[in-house]
Amino acid sequence: MGSFVSIRALALDDLIGAAQRQPADDDTPEMNEIVRRFEGLAVAVAAMMTPDVDLRENLANAGRVAMVVAVRHHQLGRPGFPAYARAYIVGAAKRELQQWTRTALADDFERVVIDDETEAQALYKFSEALPPTAERTWGSTSTSAAVCHLDDRQGGLLQLRFMDDFTLATIAKLEGTSEAAVSQRLATALRAVERYLAA
């Protein structure tokens, strides 16, 4: 008990130093305390990325693992660990979301019957966003292949915009960029789908 209290009282740099001195074990009191201190950040990042409760927990877990990696790579004594850790957390959560997105989008595109009204509306919005020359038949093999053909970043953007119904402003804030940049990336992804369908 006394040891637990003393660990909680340690400065962040002291905790990082102690955790780094034990490279073979990530399950130490010091590492657990660092993860505890940044738990709220991992949860907040996950909540910003998706309203889905189960997926949010997966993203938060990815963020927790990323915190351990951040501790391992942080240069001891260098200021700015919170921002450094946040970059790792956001990156890990994005990768987890993108991986989920590729699988989910492929599944959604291959389904002929859509029984969820929200999902149906999202699919319709995506279809309407495609250029007029693109095929708009949801559930077709070619459309599914077109989405799977996108890279992780483009697939993730389509997920956020059309499936999760995030506004351009929300996506821009999440990614630390401008609405114009998000809009341009979205147009590029839609053109990539069109090119694939036209081939």
Q: Which residues contact 81 (CB under 8 A, 6 or more apart)?
A: 12, 13, 16, 70, 74
What is the reported pLDDT for 140?
Answer: 46
As a CATH number, domain 111-198 is: 1.10.10.10
pTM above 0.85, yes or no: no
What is the reported pLDDT for 113?
Answer: 37
Nearest-angstrom CA–CA distance, 151 and 158:
11
Q: Over 80: is that where the pLDDT of 3 sits?
A: no
What is the reported pLDDT for 91?
Answer: 86
> What architecture does CATH give domain 2-97?
Orthogonal Bundle (1.10)
Q: How many CB atoms lie under 10 A from the CB of residue 135?
A: 16
What is the reported pLDDT for 114?
Answer: 41
The predicted model gives 154-177 an average pLDDT of 77
Going from N- to C-terminal start, the domains of the chain cover 2-97, 111-198
| Position 127 confidence tier, pLDDT thresholds 50, 70, 90 | low
What is the reported pLDDT for 115?
Answer: 43
- Percent of the chain beyond pLDDT 90? 3
What is the reported pLDDT for 144?
Answer: 57
- For the chain, the three-class secondary structure string (H helix, E strand, C coil) is CHHHHHHHHCCHHHHHHHHHCCCCCCCCHHHHHHHHHCHHHHHHHHHHHCCCHHHHHHHHHHHHHHHHHHHHHCCCCCCCHHHHHHHHHHHHHHHHHHHHHHHHHHHHHHCCCCCCHHHHHHHHHHHHHCCCCCCCCCCCHHHHHHHHHCCHHHHHHHHHHHHCCCCHHHHHHHHCCCHHHHHHHHHHHHHHHHHHHHC
pLDDT tens readout for residues 178-194: 888 888 888 888 888 77
| Position 5 confidence tier, pLDDT thresholds 50, 70, 90 | very low
pLDDT tens readout for residues 36-91: 888 888 888 888 888 888 888 999 999 999 988 889 888 887 878 888 888 888 88
pLDDT tens readout for residues 137-164: 444 445 556 667 777 778 778 777 776 6
| Position 105 confidence tier, pLDDT thresholds 50, 70, 90 | low
